[in-house]
């Protein structure tokens, strides 16, 4: 195969000593005043401020952002009616019935989700319940039942006794916003706003696309005045984004699946323009690159329900241009009369990967041995360590609430 197969790469090559003192526990008061490390195409590094981003981009660039919104995914129940009953934590991952996110959140009376269950041994059978005070509807009783186990997760059926209330209202009132585990603290009131991008609007993620946290309404106004084409897509971030690679080699790591949804207008723009595509965050990167490979699959008459983890490394050459790949997706959308393309993606972007859509990206500094660091390494031709060592030497702030990078 033409593309280098990354499966034999040792994950130890992507370890680095991240001091706890450099992990940002909270964001800055003003989102766009964080530091921005710019990595030029030749590998040169320079420090700027995030509010300077518009001047670092070209007027004809296309900036693509993930508009997903983090849900209150963590539900805390008690077994039995006694306040001393065992705590059972249910962490919602993705909808099962209805499987569509929008329909699930709009459900009245009941739905089911794939979930992680904390303190699972204490929950043998039966339902766990909690009283929920829903604004405008009063007290509602929410019940959860384990329907089946699927590996590390379970399918949980939810029911509530007021059919006028939706599941969106239920988790909005009963759930807790799940901040990243590496922050090593409880969710605080400030996180309710801090851990959402200002453009988040499509519910479904259990983690924020954190590169987008640096943007502000005033920064968007400056970007628009500069003539930069602002576009949106949706990838619902799963809990697997925090899962480190535990296998010795990358080939032993099962990549998690995530739901993507992209409007026809963006796919048309990607097909018609030669503009430089600047992705905001690794989730936007993953979606845009997945679109290309789904276009390849479409050209071969293959199923588009899910993009397998290793597909880009296995399907061989010669391949097609970005325009051709998007054209194959558009052909299917036109035939089906659809304005939105949806699929699940398991793609892993690792050293050896050749980028097909993304020309530049805005991202944060990522955890050691993470798939996100693999993605950055692939983009920088393996030259990530110099950037990270410089960032640590200069006391940049790391991870979700930390500082940002612009990779050109």
pLDDT tens digits, 36-66: 999 999 999 999 999 999 999 999 999 999 9
Local confidence band at 2 (pLDDT 50, 70, 90 cut-offs): low
Residue 98 pLDDT more than 60? yes
Local confidence band at 82 (pLDDT 50, 70, 90 cut-offs): low
CATH class of the 6-69+192-407 domain in this structure = alpha beta
Question: How many CB atoms are located within 10 Å of the residue 220 CB?
Answer: 17
Parse the chain into domains and list their residue ranges: 6-69+192-407, 73-176
Residue 84 pLDDT more than 80? no
Average pLDDT score over residue span 96-122: 94
pLDDT at residue 1, as a whole number: 43
pLDDT at residue 72, as a whole number: 97
**pTM as predicted:** 0.94
- Over the stretch 367-394, which tens digit does the pLDDT of each residue have? 999 999 999 999 999 999 999 999 999 9
Instruction: Give the whole-number percent of the chain exceeding pLDDT 90.
Output: 89
Mean pLDDT score across all residues of the chain: 94
Residue with more model confidence, 194 or 150: 194
Residue 8 pLDDT more than 60? yes
């Amino acid at each position: 195969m033409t593309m280098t197969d990354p499966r034999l790469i040792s994950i130890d090559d992507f370890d680095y000593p991240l001091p706890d003192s450099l992990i940002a526990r909270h964001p800055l008061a003003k989102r766009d005043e964080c530091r921005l490390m710019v990595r030029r195409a030749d590998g040169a590094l320079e420090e700027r401020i995030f509010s300077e981003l518009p001047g670092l981009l070209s007027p004809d660039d296309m900036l693509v952002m993930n508009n997903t919104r983090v849900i209150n995914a963590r539900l805390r129940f008690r077994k039995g009616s006694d306040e001393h009953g065992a705590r059972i934590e249910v962490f919602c991952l993705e909808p099962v019935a209805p499987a569509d996110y929008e329909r699930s959140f709009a459900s009245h009376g009941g739905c089911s989700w794939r979930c992680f269950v904390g303190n699972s041994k204490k929950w043998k059978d039966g339902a766990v319940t909690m009283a929920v005070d829903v604004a405008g509807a009063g007290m509602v009783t929410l019940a959860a039942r384990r329907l089946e186990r699927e590996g590390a997760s379970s399918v949980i059926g939810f029911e509530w006794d007021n059919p006028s209330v939706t599941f969106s209202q239920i988790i909005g009132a009963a759930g807790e916003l799940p901040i990243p585990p590496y922050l090593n603290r409880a969710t605080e009131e400030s996180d309710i706003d801090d851990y959402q991008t200002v453009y988040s609007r499509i519910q479904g993620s259990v983690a924020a696309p954190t590169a987008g946290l640096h943007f502000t309404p005033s920064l968007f106004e400056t970007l628009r005045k500069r003539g930069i084409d602002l576009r949106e897509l949706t990838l619902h971030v799963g809990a697997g984004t925090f899962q480190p690679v535990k296998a010795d080699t990358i080939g032993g790591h099962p990549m998690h699946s995530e739901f993507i949804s992209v409007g026809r207008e963006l796919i048309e723009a990607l097909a018609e323009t030669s503009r430089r595509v600047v992705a905001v965050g690794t989730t936007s990167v993953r979606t845009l690159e997945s679109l290309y490979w789904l276009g390849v699959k479409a050209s071969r008459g293959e199923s588009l329900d899910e993009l397998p983890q290793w597909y880009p490394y296995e399907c061989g050459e010669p391949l097609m241009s970005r325009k051709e790949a998007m054209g194959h997706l558009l052909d299917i959308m036109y035939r089906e009369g659809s304005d939105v393309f949806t699929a699940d993606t398991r793609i892993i972007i690792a050293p050896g990967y050749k980028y097909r859509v993304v020309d530049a990206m805005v991202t944060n500094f990522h955890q050691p041995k993470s798939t996100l660091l693999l993605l950055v390494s692939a983009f920088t031709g393996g030259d990530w360590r110099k950037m990270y060592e410089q960032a640590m030497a200069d006391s940049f702030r790391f991870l979700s609430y930390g500082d940002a990078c612009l990779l050109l």
